[in-house]
Amino acid sequence: MTQRIHIMGTSGSGKTHLARGLSRALGVPHVELDGLYHGPDWTPAEPAAFRAAVQRVAQGDAWVADGNYHAAREVLWDRAELVLFLDVPRWRVMAQLLVRSLGRRALGTTLWNGNRERFWDLARLDARENVLLWSWSRYAPDRADFRAASMDPHWSRVRFSRVRSLAEALAAVSR
């Protein structure tokens, strides 16, 4: 059975939720790449440190990693058996993201390395600071990027699959 899986998808599509479900079902560790990338006060990890952290993950015998970091892709895919793209409709992504973001803000949820989403960021017009705008702007490019990567002969050893649910992901893992 497949033991090394990378899950991609637009921000808010449900990558982490899917990864947790797969991790539990397969009994393998789950790694959220956001937790490796975002330092305190949302400071990005130094590229070499991030790559080294991802390398440690990739060297494991079994893992489910989620995230869309290009800097992590080559490291993960050198060892991955399966790359899943969580492909859900844009309206669903936006609805899930809005509920998630408002919930995190209302509850004061602490994320990676003590970070918290800030309520006022939803009013910002810069997509790098407003997760809703970021996700909206990345929806089509993320899909196109996955399509191109899945057809790249360099990655012919890796299986690629578009999924919409945990059930579809489990079916892809079993193939």
Residue 25 — very low, low, confident or very high, per pLDDT cuts 50/70/90? very high
pLDDT at 126 (0 to 100): 74
Q: What is the pLDDT of residues 69-82, one digit of tens each?
A: 999 999 999 999 99
Cβ distance 104 to 111 under 8 Å? yes
Report, as an integer, the average pLDDT of 89-110. Answer: 91
Nearest of 11, 13, 68, 23 to residue 173 by alpha carbon: 23
pLDDT of 52 strictly over 80: yes
Domain ranges of the chain: 4-174
Q: Work out the mean pLDDT of the chain and round it to a whole number.
A: 93
pLDDT at 130: 84
Which has the closest alpha carbon to 57: 33, 81, 40? 33
Q: pLDDT band at residue 145, thresholds of 50, 70 and 90?
A: very high
**Rounded average pLDDT over 5-21:** 96
Q: List, in sequence order, every residue forming a beta bridge with 159; answer none if it has no partner.
A: 82
Q: What average pLDDT does the segment 114-118 reach?
A: 84
- The larger pLDDT score, comparing residue 118 to residue 166, is at 166
Question: In CATH, which of 3.30.450.20, 3.30.700.30, 3.40.50.300, 3.40.50.150 is domain 4-174?
Answer: 3.40.50.300
Least confident of 27-41, 46-60, 118-132: 118-132
Average pLDDT over residues 1-13: 93
Q: Is 12 left (phi over 0), alpha (psi -120 to 50) or beta?
A: left
**Which two three-digit tokens encode residue 34?**
């956001």
Share of the chain above pLDDT 70, in %: 99
Give pLDDT, residue 144: 96
**pLDDT tens for each residue of 155-174:** 999 999 999 998 999 899 88
Query: pLDDT at residue 118 above 80?
Result: no
